[in-house]
Amino acid sequence: MKIVEPGVDALAVAQSILLDPWGLDESHMARALSEIFTHKVDYADLYFQYTCSEGWSLEEGIVKTGSFSIDQGVGVRAVTGDKTAFAYSDNLSEDALLSAARVVRTIGRRGAGRQKVVAGPEATHQLYAPVNPVDSLDAPEKVALLERVERMARAADPEVIQVMAGLGAEYDVIMVAGSDGRLVADVRPLVRVSVTVIAERKGRREMGHGGGGGRTGLSYFTDDVLRSYVDHAVHEARVNLEARPAPAGRMTVVLGSGWPGILLHEAVGHGLEGDFNRKGSSVFSGRIGQQVTSRGVTVVDDGTLPGRRGSLNVDDEGQPTQRNVLIEDGILKGYMQDSLNARLMKQAVTGNGRRESYAHLPMPRMTNTYMLAGQTPPEEIIASVDKGLYAVSFGGGQVDITSGKFVFSASEAYMIEDGKITYPVKGATLIGSGPEAMTKIALVGDDLELDSGVGTCGKEGQSVPVGVGMPTLRMDGLTVGGTA
């Protein structure tokens, strides 16, 4: 087989963890693929995975929960036309591998098959070190990290009456063997710290949240990094203690930079994934080359940002991740594609084939999706608004992929009056249609910021880590649901 790898170390690690303990090597993978191609199929691949994860949570000054898990297995896929057969096993023996191969080959007609998929470009980037974050600190050090978070939060404000902190670490090793001769491995670390505080003032209690992480070891969480998470959570709680009921109606809305990009991810990003557009169920279907947002808006999905939560050296089909310009100056340029939908739509693979685990099929998914910066300073954007809402951070939300309609709840928001931020409000929700809202962007800030590393995207029952971001935006005529 041809070796296509993001780093020699990654392939060696994957072989030692996924193949050697089971007495497997490249000849066994080749035999499994040959079993599939005794029938006429277009493409087949094997996806091996080993995942070790650990989680800790602290509440009321003590560790309340701790978890550790190891999962491993192989997913076997065969594709013919627009049909896919899939089987998986948590047993990595040769017999289990060959049995799964024989199951999926039934999708094809009898008779020797011949692969038709051309291998894509080789991966050349190394976006993160192949470290095991679970082993980067011992248990007492992990507990001590959470205790530091609690001490910081209580010291930040005497009104903080409760602190909840969480620590997660994951070591993910994958190997993809394809019928095009591709053999690719990746070692993917992932860490995250979260903090929630409850503050009380005159009998009123409010919450604030903070956190972040990325593809690195636990040494990333220095005191300065932890303090930034704590400061964000405490600030949000303080603001909500002072917040008044939010007004309702159509008004100008200013979105803050960074995490508010989750609205872009949900209301626009999903609609640009290849499967929805191939099936014609997206509002963006068949609109490449057309203006779909205001001029000055450029949206990118970039899986090549070093160390970011949504980044990958290769996607879950072994394709190198890329920087894909989806919308440029308001014009739709393309969709995010996995290999199946790219082939059926006669478009290029974009490195967006992702799956939750070996027990799931890959599909087109986002990596790090964000809007590029414009030229207007954020203070000028605020000053341009006579009366409106300034939404700095969001909590929950819902989106209909087919129509693009959304409802998002602001977890930190303020009123803007006469070009100035006046008082905080609580209970504000943004209601609208993603494509329509994107045509109401009047000003784009020069302060692009990515989120701190907390995003998880759900689609068809599968969850994967992602990143979001945007600069400050002014959007005219949005519907705001309030509590006033």
How far is 246 from 411, CA to CA, in rounded Å? 12
Average pLDDT over residues 316-322: 96
Average pLDDT over residues 276-299: 95
pLDDT in tens, 244-265: 999 999 999 999 999 999 999 9
Look at residue 116 and tell me whether its pLDDT is greater than 70: no
Q: Which of 269, 440, 246 shows the shortest CA–CA distance to 371?
A: 269
pLDDT-derived band of residue 394, with 50, 70 and 90 as boundaries?
Answer: very high
Of the candidate ranges 102-111, 275-284, 293-302, 445-454, the one whose mean pLDDT is the lowest: 102-111
Q: Which of 156, 167, 234, 222 shows the shortest CA–CA distance to 194?
A: 167
Q: Are residues 22 and 175 in contact, defined by beta-carbon separation less than 8 angstroms?
A: no
Tokens of 114: 């011949």
pLDDT of residue 114: 52
pLDDT in tens, 341-366: 999 999 999 999 999 999 999 999 99
How many of the other CB atoms lie within 10 Å of CB of 291? 14
pLDDT of residue 124: 65
Q: What angle do CA 174, 175, 176 make, to 5 degrees?
A: 125
- Can you say whether the dihedral through the CA atoms of 108, 109, 113, 115 is positive or negative? negative
pLDDT of residue 284: 93
Look at residue 338 and tell me whether its pLDDT is greater than 70: yes
pLDDT of residue 398: 77
How far is 467 from 369, CA to CA, in rounded Å? 6
pLDDT of residue 194: 98
pLDDT of residue 123: 54
pLDDT in tens, 399-422: 787 778 889 999 999 999 999 999
pLDDT of residue 446: 98
Q: Which of 324, 275, 284, 321 shows the shortest CA–CA distance to 301?
A: 324
Q: Which of 431, 315, 307, 304 shows the shortest CA–CA distance to 369?
A: 304
Average pLDDT over residues 14-28: 95
Look at residue 471 and tell me whether its pLDDT is greater than 50: yes
Per the model's pLDDT, the better-predicted residue between 266 and 402 turns out to be 266
One-letter amino acid identity for 197?
V
The rounded Cα 340 to chain-centroid distance in angstroms is 21
DSSP state of 21: G
